């Protein structure tokens, strides 16, 4: 079976949008998705990149267009989405938790709960108390997850995973890899589907 590596950070609205449509795209192509948490701030620092809200703030019309493009994407795919009022969200704790969740039988539940808390319900997910409440509501082992974010092995593994992404040419999130090709952002999804179809 073909595999799509999905490199994500919960703080990216486009990562949330891709997360919502990627499983169906993969199913149609007979592929499976493997979630790979990375720290977007670390990628930006290593590559000299920065968030679009900073990159394009002086470009007249660009941010308004990007907002409209998101609206169209949301409407086309029938998604729920609201810009988080606490954006930008500091995601270090969340991404360490995601690393801890990798490969566990509740990983999907965890990822869904966190993405929805940020981009549907507008919660302040850099507050550990809020994080704990969200995870507990989803039936997840909240105490164990929050304890794991302080584990030196979890910290170093997330750093290593982020550095490995940069070494592969990743400069932002969401980024997907399939069949040896890299695809960046939600606008690359048609190309990703085409590449999988060739397989």
- pTM value? 0.95
81-120 residue pLDDT tens = 999 999 999 999 999 999 999 999 999 999 999 999 999 9
- pLDDT level of residue 198 (50, 70, 90 thresholds): confident
Backbone angles phi, psi at 85, to 5 degrees: -70, -15
CATH number at residue 96: 3.40.30.10
- How high does pLDDT run on average in the chain? 96
Q: Report if residue 14 sits inside a domain.
A: yes
Taking the chain, what is the end-to-end CA distance rounded to the nearest angstrom? 10
Domain count, the chain: 1
Tell me the average pLDDT across 123-151: 98
Q: Is residue 64 part of a domain?
A: no
**pLDDT of 35-79, one tens digit each?**
999 999 999 999 999 877 777 778 889 999 999 999 999 999 999
Is residue 75 a part of any domain in this protein? no
DSSP 71-115: HHHHHHHT------TTPSPP-HHHHHHHHHHTTSTTHHHHHHHHH
Q: Quick check: 16 and 115 in contact, CB under 8 A?
A: yes
- Can you give the pLDDT at residue 51? 79
Q: Residues near 66 by Cβ (< 8 Å), separated by ≥ 6?
A: 52, 56
The domain containing residue 146 runs over which residues?
2-51+81-197
The answer as to whether 158 is a domain residue is: yes
Look at the block and give the residue holding tokens 């360490």: 96
> Strand 31-37 relative to strand 175-178: parallel, antiparallel, unpaired?
unpaired
Please indicate, yes or no, if residue 163 is contained in any of the structural domains: yes
137-156 mean pLDDT? 98
């Amino acid at each position: 079976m073909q595999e799509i590596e999905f490199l994500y950070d919960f703080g990216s609205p486009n990562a949330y949008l891709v997360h919502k449509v990627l499983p169906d795209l993969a199913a149609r192509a007979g592929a499976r998705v493997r979630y790979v948490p990375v720290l977007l701030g670390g990628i930006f620092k290593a590559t000299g990149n920065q968030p679009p809200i900073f990159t394009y703030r002086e470009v007249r019309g660009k941010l308004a267009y990007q907002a409209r493009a998101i609206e169209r994407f949301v409407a086309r795919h029938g998604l729920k989405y609201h810009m988080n009022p606490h954006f930008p969200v500091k995601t270090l704790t969340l991404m360490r938790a995601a690393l801890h969740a990798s490969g566990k039988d509740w990983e999907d539940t965890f990822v869904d709960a966190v993405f929805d808390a940020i981009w549907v319900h507008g919660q302040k997910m850099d507050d550990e108390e809020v994080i704990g409440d969200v995870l507990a509501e989803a039936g997840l082992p909240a105490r164990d997850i929050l304890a794991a974010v302080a584990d030196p092995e979890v910290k170093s593994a997330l750093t290593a995973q982020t550095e490995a992404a940069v070494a592969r040419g990743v400069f932002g999130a969401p980024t997907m890899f399939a069949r040896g090709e890299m695809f960046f952002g939600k606008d690359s999804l048609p190309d990703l589907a085409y590449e999988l179809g060739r397989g």
